[in-house]
Amino acid sequence: MQKYLIIFFLLFIGAKFSNGQSDNNNWKPLIIDNTQRIWYDRSQLDTINSPTFNIWILEMHRPTLSLEGISDNIMRSKTLYIVDLQQYKYGIKQVVYYDPSNKMIKSFKYDTNTLTENYKYIFPITENSFMQKLVDELLRVRKQKEAVK
């Protein structure tokens, strides 16, 4: 009996501390000021080594957002962007909306695999935009990696 109790206890502890279904994002501030609060996933940024990549961006909305078709107020949105540095454009692959208690309200996925290049990357990366700041951070991280080599 004690043997089974020990096995159950070890399984319980293992399940409690495993991260199998949790997000492993390493959020770092990108823009924190009076008008915007945006973070990027540093763990993704560290692995980028091609001109096209995906990256999660987390944004806090103050005041909360109200969108047509979503009855709750949106406090945060987490967006998976697809970026093409050669075209200097980006698009959206997925958006997840959260309420003030950080409960997921709604999630949208866009099938970018079936889109042509003209429709996959529909937003230009403009000067002083959050995406330009992200690209600047990517270049800084790459330069830092090269200096270490």
The answer to whether domain 23-148 has CATH 2.40.128 is: yes
Instruction: Look at residues 146, 147, 91 and name the one whose alpha carbon lies nearest to residue 118.
Output: 91
What tens-digit pLDDT sequence spans the chain (149 residues)?
Answer: 554 434 433 333 433 333 333 468 899 999 999 888 999 999 998 899 899 999 999 999 988 888 887 878 899 999 999 999 999 999 999 999 999 999 999 999 998 887 777 789 999 999 999 999 999 999 999 898 888 87
Parallel/antiparallel/unpaired status of strands 123-124 and 89-98: antiparallel
67/75 Cα distance (integer angstroms): 12
Cis preceding-peptide flag for 63 (omega within 30 of 0):
yes
In this structure, what token pair is assigned to residue 97?
A: 């909306």
Domains of the chain: which residue ranges? 23-148
pLDDT at 7: 42
- Sequence-distant (≥ 6) Cβ neighbours of residue 70 within 8 angstroms: 97, 105, 106
117/76 Cα distance (integer angstroms): 29
Count of CB atoms situated within 10 Å of the CB of 108 = 11
94/82 Cα distance (integer angstroms): 9
Which phi and psi angles does 63 have, rounded to 5°?
Answer: -70, 170
- Sequence-distant (≥ 6) Cβ neighbours of residue 46 within 8 angstroms: 141
User: Is the entire prediction scored with pTM above 0.85?
Assistant: no
